[in-house]
A and B are shown apart, each in its own frame.
Chain A
Amino acid sequence: MIRDRHPGAEAVAQKGWLRAHAWLLARRTSQLSILALFLLGPWFGVWIVKGNLNASLTLDVLPLTDPYVLLQSLAAGHLPEMTAIAGALIVAAFYLLAGGRAYCAWVCPVNMVTDGAHWLRERLGISGASRLSAATRYWILAATLILAALTSTLAWEFINPVSMLHRGLIFGMGLAWLLVLSVFLLDLLVSRRAWCAHLCPVGAFYSLLGTRSMLRVRAERREHCDDCMDCFLVCPEPRVIRPALKGAAKGIGPVITSANCTNCGRCIDVCAKNVFRFGSRFGNRPDTPGQSTQHSPGVEVLR
């Protein structure tokens, strides 16, 4: 079965293709640019960034460290040198502002793999409910840290497809493509968004990191929602939208506050009514000025 109408068609018709894909394009540009920065060195000898996403050195001055990797190292019983700690603090500070899972949507190379799998899954009309709990990733996150402590090694890094894909592209892949293929097939065949939205402990860590992050998607014009459901269909974490979009009657503000939101902005793209925009987490009042919650057709339907 091929879907006859893909989500966002209305937005494309109203806003034009480019504006209806603006954030998606920006995101792909970000993902590819970051990868390109890492590849400039080994491919062209232009050393702007050295290392990989686990730890890197930019322009020979700026150290960046993945705080999750560093946390595993601490759990394994190693107190790292200041360089790594400083790098992790810089990265953590950035995601505290930009939204923890902005890492997933804007940086992580596996996102392109799983987005590709999702796209193909939709095109091929593969469905079937999986009972994978979205909380599994937090269990796995805890398990990786416990394992690090028990084995005194970065146990998760032995099989982490995220760091392995990135490192593989820069330093040589080996058999890591098998893992990446597994993730692709998992998302394609087994369960919708199985990896990023259910299993990946890296994303789970960044979720926790960004629990209080500043940059948020806001359903600012939610009273204009016409229940086309496009945002739910494109959202990698559909549960995060509902409270903000449909919570006006329950006194819930328009900010998507869930830590699982990846700040991908795809909902902004596909909404023909321009309900969503990026904003801060502040001013999350249910009674946004000019809002006529009581007469919003969307809310009526939901009741």
Chain B
Amino acid sequence: MSPAAPGSTGKPASPARRRFLLDAARTGGGVALFSVGLGLYTQQAASLPALALRPPGALDEPAFLGACVRCGLCVRDCPWDTLKLATLGEEVATGTPYFTAREVPCEMCEDIPCVKACPTGALDPALTDIDDARMGLAVLIDEENCLNFQGLRCDVCYRVCPSIDKAITLELQHNPRSGKHALFIPTVHSDACTGCGKCEKACVLEQAAIRVLPARLARGELGAHYRWGWKEKQKAGGSLVPPDQEHRYNLPRGERYDYEGKGLIMDETDQAVPFARNPLDTLNRGLEEQR
């Protein structure tokens, strides 16, 4: 510091220096205010609405927003005009590509031109098989209105699925309403569903009963400590709780229960039991005369 420097001597600062510091402080303050505003806005605007889906191969949303340069080359190379760039005022981060399944779903091109077009890797070039894409996960969201849940054979979501019988299967259930028919329940399997959205697009209802949601909304997650007992048993090749205890039921004399799968066993040898061998006979006792 020069000897004329203020502070130590108590002399007033030179006007030029004072002006410089004031200007710098004002500019810095203004820019800081601007930064806080922009930073907060960014956090708000970065939340992707549930029905906006990213193109195949898109990085996780936070990483995507740091990688996508909003150039629109993926949009240009999408042969189906599925993708569009968000404009200011939409809920999706401005300039980033997305699609809405109910409007135009992804047609799952085998050569994945959108990923090839991406210059930055925001759409991961490691995605080479479109079946590995995970744009979202279809969820049969409204069982009350789904026609198949009422016992009708709509099946449209199942029929249009590009991964039919893998991503969506029809699972048979008893139809308790009619008592004699089956329900063909469309069931989505996350290990095969790419989230292309063709099922949502095709759903015949006014509002789709099946919708593609981002995985973060569509999926639950098991506690990290949780284990499925039967899977662990299979993995270990035997019971993990040594040794298997014999089940002890309070069964009538002459009956046993096999804990390894045979079920209820009637001891043929013991004739002294007061009950019939077939439990139904016991239950129906006294009805024979009425037949």
List the interface of chain A (C-beta within 8 A of B).
41, 47, 50-52, 54-57, 63, 65-66, 69-70, 73, 76-81, 83-84, 87, 131, 133, 135-136, 139-140, 143, 146-148, 150-159, 163-164, 167-168, 170-176, 178-179
Contact = CB atoms under 8 A, between A and B. Distances in A.
A175 B88 contact: yes
A54 B97 CA distance: 14
Given A140-B31, A155-B39, A70 B69 contact: yes
A152 B62 contact: yes
A171 B34 CA distance: 28
A147 B35 contact: yes
Given A54-B69, A152-B62, A174 B117 contact: no
B76 interface: yes
Given A78-B67, A174-B88, A158 B41 contact: yes
Given A50-B77, A83-B120, 6 more contacts: A54-B70, A81-B120, A143-B34, A153-B93, A159-B38, A174-B87
A133 B88 contact: no
Interface string B8-46: 000000000000000100111011101100110111011
Contacts of A52: 70-72
A139 B85 contact: no
Contacts of B203: none
A65 B75 contact: no
B114 interface: no
21 contacts: A50-B73, A50-B77, A51-B72, A55-B71, A57-B119, A70-B69, A78-B120, A81-B125, A87-B119, A143-B31, A143-B32, A151-B39, A152-B65, A152-B66, A153-B46, A153-B66, A154-B68, A164-B88, A168-B87, A168-B88, A173-B88
Contacts of B35: 143, 146-147
B281 interface: no
B224 interface: no
A83 B70 contact: no
B119 A158 contact: no
Contacts of B85: 167, 171-172
A175 B89 contact: yes
B95 interface: yes
B90 interface: yes
B281 to A, nearest CB: 73
Nearest to B85: A171
A89 to B, nearest CB: 13
B94 interface: yes
Nearest to A57: B73
Interface in B80-136: 84-90, 93-95, 117-122, 125
A55 B42 contact: no
B70 A167 contact: yes
Contacts of A55: 69, 71, 73, 119-120
Given A81-B120, A168-B87, A178-B88, A155 B38 contact: yes
B251 interface: no
A163 B122 CA distance: 18
Interface of B: 23, 26-28, 30-32, 34-35, 38-39, 41-43, 45-46, 62-63, 65-73, 75-77, 84-90, 93-95, 117-122, 125
A56 to B, nearest CB: 7
A65 B67 CA distance: 13
Given A80-B121, A153-B42, A153-B46, A179 B88 contact: yes
A80 B69 CA distance: 10
Nearest to B124: A81
Contact of A159 (B27, B41, B63, B89): B41
Contact of A84 (B23, B32, B75, B120): B120
Contact of A147 (B30, B39, B120): B39
B87 A69 contact: no
Contacts of B41: 158-159
A194 to B, nearest CB: 13
B49 to A, nearest CB: 15
B71 A164 contact: no
B87 A176 contact: yes
A56 B87 contact: no
A207 to B, nearest CB: 16
Contacts of A148: 66
Contacts of B23: 131, 133
B53 to A, nearest CB: 18
Nearest to A161: B88
Contacts of B118: 81
B189 to A, nearest CB: 32
Contacts of A156: 38
A57 to B, nearest CB: 6
Contact of B73 (A56, A133, A136): A56
A163 B229 CA distance: 56
Given A65-B119, A158-B94, A151 B72 contact: no
